[in-house]
Structure formats: structure tokens, C-alpha cells
Amino acid sequence: MMNNNSDKLILVTGGTGFLGMHCIIQLLNKSFKVRTSIRSLKKENEVITMLKNSGKVEHIENLSFVEADLSQDYNWDKATENCDYILHVASPVPLNMPKNENEVISPAVEGTLRVLKAAKSAGVKRVVLTSSFAAVGYSHKDANTLITEENWTDPNDKNLSAYIKSKTLAEMAAWDFVKSKGNGLELTTICPGLILGPVLSPSLPSSVRAIKQLLDGTIKATPKISFSIIDVRDVADLHVRAMESLEANGQRFLASNDVPLEFHDVAMMIKHKFGEEASYVTTKVLPNWVVRIAALFKPEAKDIVPQLNRVKNSNNEKAKTLLGWPPRSSEEAIFASVESILRFGK
């Protein structure tokens, strides 16, 4: 492990994001100097407010900001200047899926390469890249398959959504770049499941919106899909461990819980735990045929169809063994999401 953390400068891309914010908190609490990229410096106060909302952050004075956008070259040289490490967390997540999947795939791949090129030029030691379980566990056909870091999603699978393809191709492009043009730049990738946990503002990340929609009754019945759920605080912790560990260089790490949960099980957990506050949470399960009919008219339903009744059993032993990573339970992550949604009056 590194000593004299206050001498180290870490760039966290996407400081306004759910995971980016928790990475910043953990780095500041370990006395690192932190620089974060945000698309507009007008968002500085938003970041500071979220840090304070956490109630658990020290050394805010060690945080600085730089304006940079993954879709443009502007300022990435400034963002990476004098940095020892980069946690590349930022990733474009479209609110609505465009008809042309390349509108999602190209920004993800190009944004990742933009950061890696700047990191190489600046002499950064290591980049820890946030990939996704989407890049690992979406091409197996056998429910008994135990998914590990050795697995890759096949980007040529015609059943995949544009988002899943984008995460897969972006991680593949990162490894290719480091191997062929990295010139000593180190890379580690983290592949999280569905990230839940405490949100720090009324603006909800996409992964937590489904929990809100359960709470407010927008979701009338849950489709038969399952998730490997992981707490945002643990994903941030794994990024920091991967940055600090010599053994983590050149490795992928699954940030998942071993046992996936069905959406219906998530709903029932919330309903039983939160009682009156969860009175709108549905107990109904959506038949597969209804999802398939909806898929003819709704793109979001079309993306769900290939995942119906598919179980994705994963193994997080590598992160636990190599990095001593102690993840919380899925229940803790789910309940922390609900508690913070209720806290911010949603």
C-alpha cells in the first residue's frame, strides 16, 4: 500500500455521478489530493453539496475541479496533468436509446480512449476503469455457468442492447490500447453489477430510478429478470483498492454479489422492510408474454426480452482474495437506496 497519500493526486472522471461521488469521498477520507472532471464548472457547488450530504467526508479542501467532456479533446491534458492515478468512472448513459446503436457505442469507446491517451501523455502510472458486468456476463446460455473475470460478453450478439455492447467494446478498446500503445501505462478494470446504495441528492442515478418507481407505484408488475446487486460504497472501495494494489495491475475484477436477485424479490424485500412507506410497491409479476408483446412497441421492453428468466451467477472471490475486498449484502444496498430516496423526499 502507498504511503504519504497527501503527495498523490488522483483524477476521478465524472465527479457529479453516483459512483464518481463515492470514489471522491473515499479518496478524500484517505487524505489523497483529488481532481475531478465535470462537464461544466457550474456544477461545482452541486458536487460540494453532495459531499456534505454524505456527512462522512473529510479534507474537502483537497478537491479541485476541471471542466472536461468525454466527447471532446478539450482540457483532458489539463485534467490529467501531474496525476499519479486516474479512476475513469464517467460514462455516457443515454436516457433514451437512439435508433442507431452507434450513437451510444461510439461515445463510450471514444471517451475511454480519449482519457487513456491523455493519461499516457501525462505519465500517469495507472488507470482504473469502470467497466460493467455488462461486459462480462451477458453471452452465456447455461444458467449453471459461474461467471468470472475470465468471461466476456460477445459484442456481436444480436440480442444485446446498445448499452451492453458499448460497455463491452469500451473495455475491449481500453485493453487493446494499453497493450499496443500504452508504453507502460497500467490498467485495471472493475466490472460492477447493478449499483445501488445511498444517493446524495434528489437527482437519482439511472440504476436507482427503478427503486423509486417501485416505491411510487410507477412499476405495476415486475418482469422476470434478475440482477447481481452491489453497493456503490463497495464499488468505490474496490476502485481505490485496485489503484493501490501492485497485484491489481492488468487485472479485471467483478464487483458483484454472488447470488443474483429477481426483481420480484427486491420488491418484496422493500415491502416487508419499509411497511407503510412501501405501500405502493407491487406484488405482481409480469408474465413473459406481456413483455414480449410490449417489446413490439417499446424499445426498453425489447432490451428486457433476452434477459427474461436468465440467471447470472457470478463469483467475486478474486476481489476478496487478491484485494481483501469486503462487500456488503445486496439487502444493505437496496435498503440504503430506499432510505436515501425517502430522505430526499422522493
In a domain, 225, yes or no: no
For residues 211 and 281, give the distance between their C-alpha atoms in angstroms, rounded to a whole number. 9
CA angle 173, 90, 266 (to 5 degrees): 105
- Which three three-digit cell numbers place residue 183? 508504453
Judge whether 269 lies within some domain: no
Domain annotation covers residue 61: yes
Does pLDDT of 1 surpass 50? Answer: no
Q: How would residue 218 be classed by pLDDT, with cut points 50, 70 and 90?
A: very high
Residue 220: count of CB within 10 angstroms of its CB:
10
For the chain, state the CA radius of gyration. Answer: 20
- 131: nearest Cα among 69, 75, 51, 193: 193
Residue type for position 234: D
Residue 206 lies in a domain: no
Q: How many domains does the chain fold into?
A: 1
- For residues 326-342, average pLDDT: 96
In a domain, 220, yes or no: no
Tell whether 204 is covered by a domain.
no
Q: Is the pLDDT of residue 57 over 90?
A: no
pLDDT at 257 (0 to 100): 86
Name the percent of the chain lying above pLDDT 70: 97
Q: Between 294 and 191, whose confidence is greater?
A: 191
**In the prediction, which pLDDT does 222 show?**
94
Cα 274 from chain centroid (whole Å): 26
In this prediction, residues 91-105 reach a mean pLDDT of 73
SS3 state at 205:
coil
Structure confidence at residue 38 (pLDDT): 93
Mean pLDDT, rounded, of the chain: 91
Reading across the β-sheet that carries 63-67, which strands appear in turn?
63-67, 33-38, 9-13, 85-88, 126-130, 186-192, 252-255
Q: What is the DSSP letter of 55?
A: S
Model confidence at 95, pLDDT cuts 50, 70, 90, reads: low
Q: 74-80: which pairs have CB atoms within 8 A and are 24 or more residues apart?
A: 75/37, 76/114, 76/115, 76/117, 76/118, 77/118, 77/121, 77/122, 79/11, 79/13, 79/35, 79/37, 79/118, 80/11, 80/115, 80/118, 80/119, 80/121, 80/122, 80/124
What pLDDT, on a 0 to 100 scale, did the predictor assign at position 93? 62
Q: How confident is the model at residue 249 (pLDDT cuts 50, 70, 90)?
A: very high
Average pLDDT over residues 74-94: 91
Mean pLDDT, rounded, for 17-26? 96
CATH, residue 147:
3.40.50.720
- Is the pLDDT score of 238 beyond 80? yes
Question: Which of 216, 198, 218, 217 is closest to 208 using CA atoms?
Answer: 198
Domain boundaries, position 191: 7-195+230-258+312-328
Confirm if 128 and 243 have CB atoms less than 8 A apart. yes
Q: What is the pLDDT of residue 3?
A: 55
State residue 278's pLDDT score. Answer: 94
pLDDT at position 306 is 74
Q: Which helix (H) or strand (E) holds 209?
A: helix 206-215
- Provide, rounded to the nearest whole percent, the portion of the chain with pLDDT above 90: 72
pLDDT at residue 203 greater than cutoff 50: yes
Q: How confident is the model at residue 94 (pLDDT cuts 50, 70, 90)?
A: low
Mean pLDDT of the 259-276 span = 94
CA distance 327 to 320: 8
The answer to whether residue 83 sits within a structural domain is yes
Query: Residue holding cell 460493467?
Result: 132
Cell readout for 52 is 456534505
Confidence of residue 30 (pLDDT cuts 50, 70, 90): very high
Whether the pLDDT of residue 345 is over 80: the answer is no
Burial category of 208 from C-beta neighbours within 10 Å (exposed 0-12, middle 13-18, buried 19 and up) = buried
pLDDT band at 103; cut points 50, 70, 90: confident
The Cβ of residue 315 has, within 10 Å, a number of other Cβ atoms equal to 16
This prediction's pTM:
0.94
**Residue 2: band (very low, low, confident or very high) from pLDDT cuts 50, 70, 90:** very low
> Is residue 345 assigned to a domain?
no
